[in-house]
């Protein structure tokens, strides 16, 4: 190696050392940023997890009240209803996003406040409108769930709101829940109670829901017959049933 080449080699080594020092410096500056991002992600996960836990506990509490009211078959006491409503609101508020199940539950609790008031009762209007609004959010978040569509149609019936929204809710519930007994039971009830307000297609749909409900079990058949008798629609129900089904269920004979 010539003497002329030696300074160039030394200069090259110096540049390499400078680059290494520069890279090390950048890494040392980026390390706190990386740890900061990791900490932020951990905190976000912690907050989200905490919100999910709170929402889950609140929804369980609210659902327990609904189950109790269903078993008792009586209107809830004002204090119990207020606690259940607060729990349902808490589940909606803390859940990170829009959850159809939480809004569906909130709607059902609002309906329970005046569950046994007559259709169109002004005293029940505010709670039924709140239920309707909650169901609207629920079907937007979960459009393929038939039960909320049926509940929306039912609360519209209670509000005496026979409009395009009622028609859509009735149609979607029938379309999405063809063999779900709860959906068919409620659709049959709605149809019997709202029969004069229904168009021919809705009336045909109601008759099919009646047949499906009666075909399900003796208990469902007797329950629906009792409702039809109470609304003066017994003959309508009996005419909708084929003779073998009447014989099997021992009704309308």
Is residue 13 assigned to a domain? no
9 has a pLDDT exceeding 80 = no
- The per-residue pLDDT for 164 is 97
123 Cβ neighbours under 8 A, 6+ residues apart: 114, 117
Q: What is the pLDDT of residue 95?
A: 86
- Other CB atoms closer than 10 Å to residue 56's CB: what's the count? 14
The alpha helices in 114-217, defined as continuous H runs, are 125-141, 146-159, 164-176, 181-193, 200-216
Exposed e or buried b per residue across 128-156, where buried means at least 16 C-beta atoms within 10 angstroms of its C-beta: bebbbebbbbbbebbeebbbbbbbbbbbb
110 part of a folded domain: yes
- Asked if the structure places residue 36 within a domain, the reply is no
pLDDT at 215: 97
In a domain, 202, yes or no: yes
Per-residue pLDDT of 48-103, as tens digits, reads 676 778 888 999 999 999 999 999 998 899 999 999 999 999 999 988 889 999 99
Does pLDDT of 133 surpass 60?
yes
pLDDT value at 121 more than 60? yes
Sign of CA dihedral 102, 104, 105, 110: positive
Task: Please give the residue that has the higher pLDDT: either 55 or 191.
Answer: 191
Q: 248: which DSSP letter?
A: H
Q: pLDDT exceeding 70 applies to what percent of the chain?
A: 80
Lowest mean per-residue pLDDT among 42-51, 103-112, 121-130, 164-173? 42-51
CATH for 149: 1.25.40.10
Instruction: Tell me the residue range of the domain where 146 lies.
Output: 58-249
Domain tally for the chain?
A: 1
How far apart are the C-alpha atoms of 139 and 141, rounded to whole Å?
Answer: 5
Please give the average per-residue pLDDT across 119-137, as a whole number: 97
Tens digit of pLDDT for each residue in 15-56?
555 555 555 555 555 566 666 676 677 666 655 676 778 888
Q: What's the pTM value of the predicted model, to 2 decimals?
A: 0.81
């Amino acid at each position: 190696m010539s003497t002329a080449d030696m300074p160039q080699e030394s200069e090259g080594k110096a540049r390499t050392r400078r680059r290494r020092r520069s890279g090390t410096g950048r890494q040392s500056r980026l390390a706190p940023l990386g740890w900061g991002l990791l900490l932020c992600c951990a905190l976000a996960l912690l907050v989200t997890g905490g919100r999910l836990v709170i929402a889950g506990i609140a929804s369980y509490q609210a659902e327990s009240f609904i189950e109790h009211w269903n078993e008792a078959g009586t209107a809830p006491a004002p204090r119990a209803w207020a606690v259940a409503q607060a729990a349902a609101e808490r589940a909606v508020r803390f859940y990170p996003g829009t959850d159809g199940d939480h809004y569906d539950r909130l709607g059902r609790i609002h309906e329970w406040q005046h569950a046994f008031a007559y259709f169109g009762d002004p005293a029940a209007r505010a709670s039924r409108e709140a239920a309707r609004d909650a169901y609207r959010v629920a079907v937007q978040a979960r459009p393929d769930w038939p039960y909320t569509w049926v509940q929306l149609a039912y609360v519209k019936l209670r509000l005496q709101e026979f409009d395009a929204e009622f028609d859509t809710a009735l149609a979607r519930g029938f379309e999405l829940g063809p063999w779900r007994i709860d959906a068919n039971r409620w659709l049959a009830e709605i149809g019997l109670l709202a029969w004069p307000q229904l168009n021919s297609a809705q009336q045909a749909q109601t008759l099919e829901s009646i047949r499906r409900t009666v075909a399900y079990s003796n208990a469902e058949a007797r329950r629906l017959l009792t409702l039809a008798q109470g609304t003066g629609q017994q003959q309508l129900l009996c005419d909708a049933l084929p003779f073998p089904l009447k014989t099997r269920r021992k009704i309308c004979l």
